[in-house]
């Protein structure tokens, strides 16, 4: 691995007595003042969230909802098929129903309908006499579809967080921090968080006495934010910090049963980590949309009976198991194609009739990570291909798609992840155009990716005091990564392989003066065991974490690499 250590910043944070290495991490992450430190370490739900009325169109939204409540209009919500879309629909539906509105929710089929508002749903809303239509986690690119909804007599309010094109739909209002000219100060909200801001605004006007109850929605906001890989800074840090606590004591029967069925270690006493949400909860919510239909995940979120929630969660658990098996199989097939046909490509494009559209995004992510190249994986359905893209540092995937848009039917997404549809006969032309565009960026995609350690410390510094400060910096995740430390010249006191199939390495290391010793675990590093013997002097790159065993709490190295 190509490790580098971040350069020290020769500054101090005035007014704060901080552990030196923690101070350096703060400075590296743009936390430069005592006020910044306080806000980061102690995010405050009451003080650190922006006023939802800072959105340009929020007053219009509230006025239009007031009219809907006054005359008893039926309201439609068009959602999306991923965890953020399902969570967005859940939050907005509950917020509107609290006002007494009759709400009809439509979750599209990922396989047959794809992303974004569609005419089929609009026709259904028209049949159900919907006159006010919300979109959540989508809609900003749906110019034609919004025009069709308007022609059907609907006012359309878009709530979204995706890239905003130059030409926007003729909607009644658009709540999207990415829209050019939008004054809302925080741009990195998830779709669920945007929906929550709308609910906040509505409750502040119509149900001010129930504003505190909105905190019970933060478990859903947290899952949507983490699932969509939004940076855990600013408002997102508040949503996730509090949301994890709410999730540990969730009142939502769907989450309760999902936690039980998955045997997840979440209780009021054991607050989940971002990692658990990202790799245990979000994949289960997404599994429904990938394998059958996301409406089942939405039903789980809204279910009020334990018996029904248990059945839904059990079905979703099985779908998640099937999803994992299918992803492993198709990833292996895709890797073989890359090795045989596309090793020289700067932009990998793979397409097949055998790839279910529900899992192409996961496969694209794995291929992009392994080969460190932007990747698109398409599912061919009839004459059309539906693709998901994942990118790497230095390549903004939406910029690539925009440059190659003449070959695409439609596209949208973020810097690192996007989706598109294409006529299959244009796949080769698109692949060549995307490859040429990335090559012109003059980025060395063949180089081993640089891994950064946040600082270099002595083994003697690995103690409960440092652990305490690190725990105060949680939650860790996208945009606030868990710090990695380089610890040089430690002596191996013991070493052995552990885990099923001896996948992991367990060791104990001490300082050269033998005054300090710490245990370490290296997940997935079992093969390193044959290279290390007691007495070796090694350098480790590791997270510093708490280890609890048989009631005893200690500081442990979670080792990423050994050199």
- Tens digits of per-residue pLDDT, 511-529? 988 889 999 999 988 888 8
How many angstroms separate the CA atoms of 96 and 198, rounded? Answer: 10
Is pLDDT larger for residue 184 or for residue 531?
184
For the stretch 324-349, pLDDT in tens is 999 999 999 999 999 999 988 999 99
How many angstroms separate the CA atoms of 28 and 24, rounded? Answer: 6
Choosing from 278, 307, 336, the residue where a domain stops is 307
For the stretch 213-222, pLDDT in tens is 999 999 999 9
Q: Are 293 and 362 in a shared domain? A: no
How many angstroms separate the CA atoms of 459 and 68, rounded? Answer: 63
What domain range is 400 assigned to?
344-441
For the stretch 88-132, pLDDT in tens is 999 999 999 999 999 999 999 987 887 889 999 999 999 999 999
Choosing from 377, 406, 441, the residue where a domain stops is 441
Q: Are 433 and 499 in a shared domain? A: no
Q: Is residue 398 part of a domain?
A: yes
Q: Are 437 and 460 in a shared domain? A: no
Residue matched to tokens 């005035």: 14
Confidence of residue 499 (pLDDT cuts 50, 70, 90): confident
Confidence of residue 405 (pLDDT cuts 50, 70, 90): very high
Give which of 503, 507, 516 is closest to 542, Cα–Cα.
507
CA distances from 41 to 18, 22, 38, 465, 555 (A): 12, 12, 5, 15, 21
How many angstroms separate the CA atoms of 115 and 104, rounded? Answer: 19
Choosing from 392, 416, 441, the residue where a domain stops is 441
Confidence of residue 449 (pLDDT cuts 50, 70, 90): confident
For the stretch 478-488, pLDDT in tens is 889 999 999 99
Q: Are 460 and 527 in a shared domain? A: yes
Asked if residue 130 lies in contact with residue 141, where contact means CB atoms within 8 angstroms, the answer is no
Give which of 312, 262, 253 is closest to 283, Cα–Cα.
262
What is the share, in percent, of the chain residues with pLDDT greater than 90? Answer: 81
Q: Which residues contact 308 (CB under 8 A, 6 or more apart)?
A: none
Specify burial of residue 535 (Cβ count, 10 A radius: 0-12, 13-18, 19+).
exposed
Q: Is residue 101 part of a domain?
A: yes
Q: Is the pLDDT of residue 476 over 70?
A: yes
Give Cα 336 distance to the centre of its chain. 28
How many angstroms separate the CA atoms of 487 and 504, rounded? Answer: 20
Q: Is residue 465 part of a domain?
A: yes
Q: What number is the average pLDDT over the span 238-248?
A: 97
Q: Tell me, what CATH number does 291's domain have?
A: 3.90.1640.30
Asked if residue 457 lies in contact with residue 486, where contact means CB atoms within 8 angstroms, the answer is yes
Confidence of residue 447 (pLDDT cuts 50, 70, 90): low
Quick one: pLDDT at residue 148? 98
Q: What is the DSSP letter of 139?
A: -
Q: Are 232 and 111 in a shared domain? A: yes
Q: Is the pLDDT of residue 309 over 90?
A: yes
Q: Is residue 393 part of a domain?
A: yes
What's the distance, Cα to Cα, between the start and end of the chain in Å? 9
- Burial call 5-28: b when 16+ CB within 10 Å, e when fewer: ebeeeeeebeebebeebbbbbbbb
Which range scores top for mean pLDDT: 70-79, 161-170, 284-293?
70-79
For the stretch 50-86, pLDDT in tens is 999 999 999 999 999 999 999 999 999 999 999 999 9
For the stretch 453-469, pLDDT in tens is 999 999 999 999 999 99
Q: Are 184 and 221 in a shared domain? A: yes
Asked if residue 69 lies in contact with residue 99, where contact means CB atoms within 8 angstroms, the answer is yes
Q: Which residues contact 473 (CB under 8 A, 6 or more apart)?
A: 22, 25, 40, 41, 480, 483
Q: What number is the average pLDDT over the span 310-330?
A: 94
Number of domains in the chain: 3
Give Cα 261 distance to the centre of its chain. 23
Q: Are 205 and 69 in a shared domain? A: yes
How many angstroms separate the CA atoms of 67 and 53, rounded? Answer: 18
Give the Cα-Cα-Cα angle 127, 128, 129 (nearest 5 degrees).
90
Confidence of residue 530 (pLDDT cuts 50, 70, 90): confident
Quick one: pLDDT at residue 40? 92
């Amino acid at each position: 691995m190509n490790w580098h250590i971040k350069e020290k910043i020769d500054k101090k944070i005035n007014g704060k007595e901080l552990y030196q290495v923690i101070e350096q991490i703060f400075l590296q992450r743009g936390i430069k003042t005592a006020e910044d430190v306080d806000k980061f370490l102690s995010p405050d739900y009451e003080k650190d969230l922006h006023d939802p009325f800072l959105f340009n169109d929020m007053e219009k939204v509230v006025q239009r909802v007031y009219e809907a409540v006054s005359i008893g209009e039926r309201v439609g919500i068009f959602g999306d098929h991923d965890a953020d879309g399902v969570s967005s629909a859940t939050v907005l539906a509950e917020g509107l129903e609290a006002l007494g509105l009759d709400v009809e929710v439509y979750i599209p089929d990922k396989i047959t309908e794809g992303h974004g508002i569609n005419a089929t749903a609009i026709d259904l809303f028209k049949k159900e006499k919907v006159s006010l239509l919300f979109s959540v986690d989508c809609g900003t690119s749906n110019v034609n579809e919004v025009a069709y909804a308007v022609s059907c007599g609907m006012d359309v309010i878009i709530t979204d967080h995706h890239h905003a094109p130059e030409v926007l739909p003729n909607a009644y209002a658009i709540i999207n921090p990415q829209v050019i000219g939008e004054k809302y100060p925080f741009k990195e909200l998830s779709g669920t968080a945007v929906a929550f801001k709308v609910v906040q605004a509505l409750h502040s006007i119509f149900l001010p006495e129930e504003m505190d109850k909105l905190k019970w929605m933060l478990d859903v906001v947290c899952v949507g934010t983490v699932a969509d890989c939004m940076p855990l800074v600013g408002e997102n840090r508040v949503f996730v910090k509090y949301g994890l606590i709410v999730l540990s004591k969730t009142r939502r029967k769907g989450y309760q049963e999902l936690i039980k069925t998955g045997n997840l270690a979440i209780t009021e006493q054991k607050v989940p980590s971002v990692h658990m949400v990202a790799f245990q909860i979000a994949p289960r919510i997404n599994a429904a949309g990938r394998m059958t239909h996301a409406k089942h995940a939405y039903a789980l979120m809204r279910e009020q009976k334990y018996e029904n929630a248990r059945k839904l969660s059990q079905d979703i658990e099985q779908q998640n198991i099937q999803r994992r098996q299918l992803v492993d199989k198709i990833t292996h097939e895709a890797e073989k194609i890359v090795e045989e046909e596309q090793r020289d490509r700067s932009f990998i494009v793979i397409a097949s009739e055998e790839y279910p559209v529900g899992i192409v995004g996961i496969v694209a992510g794995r291929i992009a990570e392994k080969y460190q190249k932007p990747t698109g994986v398409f599912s061919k359905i009839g004459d059309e291909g539906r693709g998901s893209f994942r990118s790497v540092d230095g390549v903004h995937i939406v910029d690539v798609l925009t440059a190659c848009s003449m070959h695409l039917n439609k596209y949208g997404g973020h810097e690192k992840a996007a989706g598109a549809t294409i006529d299959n006969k244009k796949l080769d032309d698109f692949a060549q155009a995307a490859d040429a565009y990335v090559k012109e960026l003059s980025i060395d995609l063949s180089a081993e990716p640089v891994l950064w350690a946040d600082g270099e410390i002595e083994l003697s510094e690995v103690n409960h005091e440092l652990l305490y400060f690190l725990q105060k910096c949680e939650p860790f995740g996208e945009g606030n990564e868990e710090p990695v430390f380089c610890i040089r010249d430690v002596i191996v006191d013991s070493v052995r392989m552990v885990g099923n199939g001896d996948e992991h390495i367990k060791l104990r290391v001490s300082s050269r003066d033998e005054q300090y010793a710490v245990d370490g675990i290296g997940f997935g590093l079992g093969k390193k065991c044959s290279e290390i013997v007691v007495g070796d002097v090694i350098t480790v790159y590791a997270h510093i974490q708490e280890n609890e065993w048989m009631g005893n709490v200690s500081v442990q190295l979670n080792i990423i690499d050994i050199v």
